[in-house]
Structure 1
Amino acid sequence: MESLSDTRWDVVISGTGLRHSLLALALSRSNKKILHVDENDYYGGPEAAFSLQEVDEWVEELGKVGNWWIYNAEEAVLKRLPNGREDIFQDKNIDNRAKRNLMKFLKFVVDYENQTDVWEAQSESGLDIFLSSKFNFPAHLQIVITALTLSLAPPSETSVKWALPRIARHLTSIGLFGPGFGAVVPKWGGGAEISQVACRAGAVGGGVYVLGTGIENVKVVEAEDTESPAFHLALSNGEAVGTKLYVHEATDKDNGGITTVSKAISIISSSVPSLFRSTVEGSPLAAVSVVVFPPMSLQIADGIQSDPVYIMVHSSETGECPAGQTPSGSPLDLSFDDQLLEQVEAQWREVMAEKANEESFMQFEERKGMEAEEEDDNDY
């Protein structure tokens, strides 16, 4: 077997975070020579281990997200967020004029991609200005709509172009996981497990993985031809490699600074059944409810609550706690970022070059021999 230094790599990927692990998965059938390194001695952050078969079991552990609630500071009560036309018409707290404007907005947002003339000029503006100028939303409805995006910022700092696809995804997902449900969350694990599975697929496809080894130095060189390395990389294990393409994790500087997010997990000594009651005929009880505390709705002893707070409350029926107790927490990753797959596809196309048009992104044919192996397993 050739050493790392003697191999001409098509691409070196540094970091086994979710984005670059998914890139490894996308390239797993490409026949490219791929070196995937990580300065950590584990995949994707938290240590995890999954086989491809265990993914199916992990999916079965997803809890359905049902009701969304928002805290009303003036009345000191939780109010249910409307998820569609029926909820809006039945909500006695919304006057008729606001209901008409909400219906107009719902009709627009599920088709926003074909109505760029309505929002593109304000794409960089805050969502509050857009909702006020285009749909005459009062401040309290702006907060309600912004809550559906799970934005970590207030409406004034949540851009229109970032918010619209998230609101559309939420509304068009209602019912996909059963009556009244539009999202799922894992009881345990998360992105790290997906990274593990993706990297394993990359290794099965011929990728070489080296954990505990990072990139110490990068030198860009002028390639003699399309087959020659364009990057010389010095690895922390003392080896040097050449590669046509180099993909690395973005730094905090690349992302425009560090965002500080506080996270907590609490156990409530109550089953809080009112949070999980069914609101749609024929739907089971929700496993998870989302509670939103908008900016300025909480009293903080040593400061002002300028940003929203989200709490994912898990039903005691999930079995995560003893009967009568409810786990709740403010998660770091509130929702899957659709743009992540767009970034992965862009990098995949760069690696595949002219072959990118001949293959479908993330579409894999059944590996030869897999069905036969499964039949053999069933004989025992």
Structure 2
Amino acid sequence: MDSLDGSSYDVLISGTGIQQSLLALALSRSGKKVLHVDKDDTYGGPEAALSLQEAEQWVEKLNSARQTRFRNTSITKSAGGEQKLSPSRAYNLSLAPTLVYTRSGLLPILVSSKTNEQLEFMAVGGWFVFEKQEDGARVVRVPNGREDIFADPSLTLKMKGQLMKFLRFVAAFEEKPETWQPHRDTPFADFLSEQFGLPAVDALMALCLSLEIPEKTTTDFALPRIARHLRSIGVFGPGFGAVIPKWGGLSEVVQVACRACAVGGGIYVLGQGISSIEPAQSDEDDVEEIPREPEKPDVSQDIHNMITEGEGFVDTNPDHLDELESGIKEQSLDDLLAAAGYSIAGVEDEKPTPAVEEPVEKQTASAAVPSEKNSLYSVQLSSGDKVSAQFIVGCSDDLPGSLPATTIGTKVAGAQPDTASRSITIISSSMQHLFVTVAEGGVSPAGAVVVFPAGSLSSAAHPPVQIMVHSSDTGECPQGQCIAYASTALTGQQGQELLAEAIKMLLAAQDGEAQALWSLSYEQHAEALASSAEASQSSILKFQDPPLDFVFDDAIIENVQAAWQRILPEADDFMVFGKRNEDAQEEAEDEE
């Protein structure tokens, strides 16, 4: 590879996590000269997806170096389990398994940025709660709505009425601030009891996916999350309200975003991080003319068509949909496919190839043209090369802390621990009972969520354990197996023991023959960054770490847009792109 030494850039992005990669996507049509580096040899950072061999190397690397984000990593293999494992590359294990609600802000920007055509999404179907009983234990499906509640024999008639009263309230809770705002800092369980006469309902606690104990889960935290869950059900089809990206979760979104930036002229270098940053002499920047993009298109129908399952393209029955503000209109499936240019997933016998077949190749410095503006910073990379840049962007784990930096984003308060214990377990069974289609005309889900309420395992004082189970339809494991991603706020050895107990109970509850073949355990830390007046004008932009729960947080989109706006202060077309050939034609016409 040619040396980068002496090259100059408008933007230097460090790390290929989801926030940095979405920023690279946002800048891919801006005309800015972008250098995107990562100290690791794989894409994704904390959102990376690893094969078995890459996971072994990852653990070895972390255990031999001081790390701030991941620690206490280890791999456990069951006796005789290795013989049942497939080759290393048959697995795509996500370090940050993430479900995306259908109302999330991520889906519209994937469509408007023209990257949705390279991605597939699978439905997350059932939510389950673990229950201990005298004769053993079981996982119980969380009711999805009115019909499920009234069909549940475990609920008394009085409790069914109380639950329905709460569901009617939460559907439009913003319109009734007098009911909940005086209790916003009250534990949510107390709010349910005082306002609706409900005991601490495990099903409702499960829907807000809090990693903390009920006493630390406030009403202000729980209500918007339960409302988001309920409002998302049925948007793209009956029976589900969330999706997961196929082929390794957010890692696939990262690679598609980075590829778009590379096609737009961005330079990518893996295995090189930033060693030091020093101020460089700088004149006042001239304001460049910002390329204008077309008006933001209506993307609702394209989003509607993004959700695929193993058997083919998902068509939504409009009779099951509410009247949506986005105005999804009834069209034939053929018309939808032709208009959007999508191919039907799963029609070929062979396994589809991932959107990014090979990592974005390391490009040479010769592709970079020095910026016409004077650079603000001189940067030394870990290779020893020195480059200069006007803006430097990354997370705290990817940037040295020697100079003041502008914090992008705020720490989300309430039921969000700074550190969580996590595990990734390969299960010998497909656990098919978790992936049942429950709604007429619904799709076959590839993801399920199982919540072990606080105190439901060996210790009455432990926080909840959340497990997200992915089937082989996600492309993360071979057929006949599944992946269980577990998380809890309890840290240290106790946290890992709690996760192992939860996995054991999950396997025993429904499938006595299922076995944990292989497991990766680790702790993940999310650093909370403080803002300061001194750093607010810095052109070093440091993203706040995302929360550690399983749900994609729309604050990530807000953070990316805030960084993009700092770099392009006069632009107003965030993530709105035309087709590349259309853009080239418009540029040629402008030159004439």
Matching residue within 450, 453, 456 for 1:294: 453
- Structure-2 residue corresponding to 1:240: 386
Structure 1: tracts of 5 or more residues without a match:
373-380
The answer to whether structure 1 residue 363 and structure 2 residue 509 are counterparts is no
Kept after mapping to 2: 8 A contact 1:271/1:316: no
- Whole-Å separation in 1 of the counterparts to 2:382 and 2:472: 47
Kept after mapping to 1: 8 A contact 2:207/2:225: yes
Deviation of the 1:81 alpha carbon: 0.6
The answer to whether structure 1 residue 167 and structure 2 residue 326 are counterparts is no
CA 1:309/1:366 → structure 2, altered by over 3 Å: closer, same or farther?
A: same
- What are the residue-to-residue correspondences of 1:158-197 with 2, within 5 Å? 158-186=217-245, 188-197=247-256
One-letter amino acid matched to 2:577: F
- Whole-Å separation in 2 of the counterparts to 1:73 and 1:187: 33
- Whole-Å separation in 2 of the counterparts to 1:222 and 1:162: 46
Structure 1 window deviating more from structure 2 (311-320 vs 36-45): it is 311-320
CA 1:352/1:165 → structure 2, altered by over 3 Å: closer, same or farther?
A: farther
Deviation of the 1:12 alpha carbon: 1.8
Deviation of the 1:2 alpha carbon: 11
Kept after mapping to 2: 8 A contact 1:28/1:205: yes
Deviation of the 1:29 alpha carbon: 1.1
- Whole-Å separation in 2 of the counterparts to 1:82 and 1:136: 19
- Structure-2 residue corresponding to 1:35: 35
- What TM-score, normalized by structure 1, do the two folds share? 0.78
The answer to whether structure 1 residue 330 and structure 2 residue 485 are counterparts is yes
One-letter amino acid matched to 1:283: G
- What are the residue-to-residue correspondences of 1:203-222 with 2, within 5 Å? 203-220=262-279
- Structure-2 residue corresponding to 1:18: 18
What RMSD in Å do the two structures reach over aligned CA positions?
Answer: 3.8
- Whole-Å separation in 1 of the counterparts to 2:556 and 2:49: 22
One-letter amino acid matched to 1:350: R
Structure 2: tracts of 5 or more residues without a match:
51-88, 90-112, 287-373, 402-406, 488-548, 586-592
Matching residue within 427, 437, 445 for 1:267: 427
- Structure-2 residue corresponding to 1:376: none
Deviations, residues 302-334 of structure 1 (Å, cap 9, x unaligned)? x66612223334568889555xx5524125662
Give 3-state SS (helix, strand or coil) of 2:211's partner: coil
Deviation of the 1:286 alpha carbon: 3.6
- Whole-Å separation in 1 of the counterparts to 2:158 and 2:379: 62
One-letter amino acid matched to 1:343: N
- What are the residue-to-residue correspondences of 1:1-380 with 2, within 5 Å? 5-7=6-8, 9-45=9-45, 46=48, 56=117, 58-59=119-120, 62-74=121-133, 76-116=137-177, 118-120=179-181, 122-139=183-200, 141=201, 143-186=202-245, 188-220=247-279, 223-227=282-286, 228-251=374-397, 259-269=419-429, 273=433, 275-299=434-458, 306-314=462-470, 325-331=480-486, 334-355=550-571, 357=572, 359=573, 361-368=574-581
Give aligned-pair identity as a percent. Answer: 43
Deviation of the 1:43 alpha carbon: 1.6
CA 1:248/1:169 → structure 2, altered by over 3 Å: closer, same or farther?
A: same
CA 1:238/1:314 → structure 2, altered by over 3 Å: closer, same or farther?
A: closer
- Structure-1 residue corresponding to 2:98: none
Structure 1 window deviating more from structure 2 (222-231 vs 180-189): it is 222-231
Deviation of the 1:294 alpha carbon: 1.0
- Whole-Å separation in 2 of the counterparts to 1:73 and 1:28: 52
The count of aligned residue pairs is: 356
Structure 1 window deviating more from structure 2 (224-233 vs 288-297): it is 224-233
Deviation of the 1:32 alpha carbon: 1.7
Give 3-state SS (helix, strand or coil) of 2:396's partner: coil
Deviations, residues 224-250 of structure 1 (Å, cap 9, x unaligned)? 413544433332222333333221213
Kept after mapping to 2: 8 A contact 1:72/1:78: yes
Deviation of the 1:297 alpha carbon: 0.7
- What TM-score, normalized by structure 2, do the two folds share? 0.52
Structure 1 window deviating more from structure 2 (71-80 vs 206-215): it is 71-80
- Whole-Å separation in 2 of the counterparts to 1:117 and 1:352: 41
- Whole-Å separation in 2 of the counterparts to 1:236 and 1:30: 28
